[in-house]
């Protein structure tokens, strides 16, 4: 039996597709990565550039992925093979590799969120920043981290293995509303803290000189964050759109997805920074473990901080799960479409491979940074850049026609969208890729070389 003979799954409802796309976008990118990126890159200055990229780059790029997925009804590899020729047909493999690499270490970080949820309920958090950092180093690596990595990956395998309607769609209809309700509640609580005023000034009042002085750092970080948080460049939106079985208004759905994702990321800042400022913790603390050190120490200094912290980290874990199932689905859809594997077998094999690749990240934080920077600043942007060039310059008529299904005559809006993809989106992604490669090279010759020398 060939792959085309296998009935392709579809979303049962429109809200199921939207929640799945939102759930993919609303994950660790919003709650784990976004706050430490803002703090690391200058506060509100980074926020401004990030929001510009969301609108000017993220939205047009999301529509491209939606169009490619719905038109081909295939996974990224199958979709690009159908649309491209020559070397272009292999671009889909970048998306598969990106999703595979990201989920391998993403699962490790998700395991930390489970551990910190339990920590708050059992022993509470350490208020001393030095002790909190030492505790994080102990908890974030070693056998415990590997076990939690395995538990989280097993949960993702089970949900994805259950299928689109009975697994992914059912899960996100519970997870996404829970994330929205809890984050809004935590933001209301954070507004009552004494450090809220200073935190809002830091988060919402940009110092333009910071952008002028640090644009080479802010630009690739903001571009990478925009793509990471919207699940672009991973093949997720191509894959999810491939299960659309009707003439959906892709522009409307895309606007809803981006609006909800950006709102939750923004609200996360309204939670995190008041807590940090109230506890007197520096928001510029860099690194993947920022919220697990700085934020945990802040919770340790607050009344009922153990409870607030447990709720916060539980929310991060829920968000991580909603994103992780989308990342695995990208690779699983390839195995189903192209290799004729049944869904549960594909999920188990792929999840097992991701677990094995993630063990080094659970072993040492420097190795996690090695994977994270490579996936975020190079693979994500490279895949997105090549797809934008292909669709914007070679498949523009097809793309406009496909976007028009469910909308009607696009008129000048279709042309404006294609030119946005051709020029500003491609240009920003190209510059971000170059700067990202330079940044990664600096990491390899700096922290990673020092880590190797100490071995």
Q: What is the pLDDT of residues 278-337, one digit of tens each?
A: 878 777 765 556 678 877 888 888 888 899 889 988 988 888 888 898 889 999 999 998
Cβ distance 330 to 101 under 8 Å?
Answer: no
Instruction: For the chain, give the number of residues.
Output: 455
The mean pLDDT of 370-394, rounded to a whole number, is 91
Q: Is residue 100 part of a domain?
A: yes
Picking from 110-124, 297-311, 385-399, 417-431, which range would have the lowest pLDDT averaged per residue?
Answer: 297-311
Cβ distance 312 to 17 under 8 Å?
Answer: no
Cβ distance 43 to 202 under 8 Å?
Answer: yes
Q: Given this model, what pLDDT does residue 446 score?
A: 92
- Residue 334 is part of which domain span? 14-453
- At 268, give phi and psi (nearest 5°): -60, -40
* CA distances (Å), origin 192, targets 38, 159, 249: 22, 38, 40
Q: What's 437's domain CATH number?
A: 1.20.1740
Q: Is the pLDDT of residue 8 over 80?
A: no
User: pLDDT-derived band of residue 20, with 50, 70 and 90 as boundaries?
Assistant: confident
Q: Considering only CA atoms, which of 189, 183, 188 is closest in space to residue 260? A: 183
Q: How far apart are CA 187 and CA 72, in angstroms?
A: 41
pLDDT above 90 covers a percentage of the chain that reads 41
Q: Given this model, what pLDDT does residue 278 score?
A: 86
Q: Given this model, what pLDDT does residue 1 score?
A: 35
Q: Is residue 347 part of a domain?
A: yes
Helices (H), 123-169: 129-140, 143-161
The number of angstroms, rounded, from the C-alpha of 34 to the middle of its chain's C-alpha atoms is 10
Return the number of other C-beta atoms located less than 10 Å from residue 412's C-beta. Answer: 7
pLDDT above 70 covers a percentage of the chain that reads 96
Task: Name the CA radius of gyration of the chain, rounded.
Answer: 21
The mean pLDDT of 368-384, rounded to a whole number, is 89
Q: How far apart are CA 336 and CA 130, in angstroms?
A: 48
Q: Considering only CA atoms, which of 168, 223, 174 is closest in space to residue 20? A: 168
Q: How far apart are CA 35 and CA 312, in angstroms?
A: 13
Q: Given this model, what pLDDT does residue 289 score?
A: 65
User: pLDDT-derived band of residue 245, with 50, 70 and 90 as boundaries?
Assistant: low
Q: How far apart are CA 22 and CA 143, in angstroms?
A: 33
Cβ distance 238 to 76 under 8 Å?
Answer: yes
What's the predicted TM-score (pTM) here?
Answer: 0.88
The number of angstroms, rounded, from the C-alpha of 363 to the middle of its chain's C-alpha atoms is 22
Picking from 298-302, 343-347, 437-441, which range would have the lowest pLDDT averaged per residue?
Answer: 298-302
Q: What is the pLDDT of residues 205-238, one digit of tens each?
A: 888 787 778 777 787 778 778 877 787 888 889 9
Q: Is residue 8 part of a domain?
A: no
The residue that leads in pLDDT, 409 or 100, is: 100
Strand intervals (E) in 41-151: none
- At 320, give phi and psi (nearest 5°): -60, -40
Q: Is residue 9 part of a domain?
A: no
Tokens 């946005």 correspond to what residue? 420
Q: Is the pLDDT of residue 346 over 90?
A: yes
Q: Is residue 127 part of a domain?
A: yes
Q: Is residue 3 part of a domain?
A: no
The mean pLDDT of 25-29, rounded to a whole number, is 71
Q: Is the pLDDT of residue 34 over 90?
A: no
Number of domains in the chain: 1
Which residues, at least 6 apart from 340, have a Cβ–Cβ distance to it below 8 Å? 1, 2, 3, 6
Average confidence score pLDDT of the chain: 87
Residue 195 DSSP SS3:
coil
Q: What share of the chain is helix, strand, coil (3-state, %, to 5)?
A: 80, 0, 20
Q: Is residue 5 part of a domain?
A: no
- At 304, give phi and psi (nearest 5°): 60, 25
Q: Given this model, what pLDDT does residue 21 score?
A: 80
């Amino acid at each position: 039996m060939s792959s085309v003979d296998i009935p392709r799954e579809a979303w049962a409802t429109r809200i199921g597709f939207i929640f799945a796309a939102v759930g993919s976008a609303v994950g660790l990118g919003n709650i784990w990565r976004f706050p430490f990126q803002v703090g690391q890159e200058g506060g509100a200055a980074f926020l401004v550039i990030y929001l510009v990229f969301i609108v000017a780059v993220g939205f047009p790029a999301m529509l491209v992925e939606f169009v490619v997925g719905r038109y081909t009804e295939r996974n990224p590899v199958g979709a690009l093979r159908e649309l491209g020729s020559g070397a272009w047909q292999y671009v889909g493999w970048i998306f598969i590799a990106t999703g595979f690499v990201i989920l391998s270490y993403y699962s490790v970080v998700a395991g930390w969120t489970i551990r910190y949820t339990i920590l708050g309920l059992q022993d509470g958090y350490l208020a001393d920043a030095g002790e909190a950092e030492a505790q994080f180093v102990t908890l974030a690596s070693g056998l415990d981290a590997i076990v939690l990595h395995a538990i989280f990956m097993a949960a993702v395998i089970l949900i994805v293995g259950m299928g689109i309607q009975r697994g992914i769609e059912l899960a996100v209809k519970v997870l996404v509303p829970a994330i929205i309700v809890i984050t809004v509640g935590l933001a209301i609580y954070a507004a009552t803290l004494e450090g809220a005023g200073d935190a809002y000034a830091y988060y919402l009042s940009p110092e333009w000189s910071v952008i002028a002085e640090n644009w080479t750092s802010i630009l690739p970080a903001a571009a990478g964050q925009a793509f990471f948080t919207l699940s672009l460049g991973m093949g997720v939106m191509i894959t999810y759109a491939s299960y659309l079985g009707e003439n959906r208004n892709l522009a409307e759905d895309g606007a809803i997805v981006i609006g909800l994702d950006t709102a939750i990321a923004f609200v996360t800042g309204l939670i995190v920074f008041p807590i940090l400022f109230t506890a007197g913790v520096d928001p510029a603390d860099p690194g993947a473990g920022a919220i697990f050190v700085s934020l945990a120490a802040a919770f340790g200094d607050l009344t009922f901080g153990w409870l607030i912290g447990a709720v916060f980290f539980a929310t991060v874990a829920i968000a991580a799960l909603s994103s992780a199932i989308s990342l695995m689905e990208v690779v699983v859809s390839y195995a189903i479409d192209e290799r004729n594997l049944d869904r549960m077998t594909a999920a188990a094999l792929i999840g097992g491979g991701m677990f094995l690749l993630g063990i080094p990240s659970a072993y040492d934080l420097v190795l996690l940074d090695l994977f994270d920077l490579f996936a975020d600043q190079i693979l994500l942007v490279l895949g997105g850049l090549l797809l934008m060039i292909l669709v914007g310059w070679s498949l523009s008529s097809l793309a406009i026609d496909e976007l028009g299904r469910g909308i009607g005559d696009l008129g000048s809006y279709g042309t404006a969208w294609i030119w946005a993809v051709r020029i500003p989106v491609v240009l920003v992604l190209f510059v971000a890729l170059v700067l990202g490669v330079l940044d990664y090279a600096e990491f390899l010759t700096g922290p990673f070389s020092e880590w190797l020398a100490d071995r």
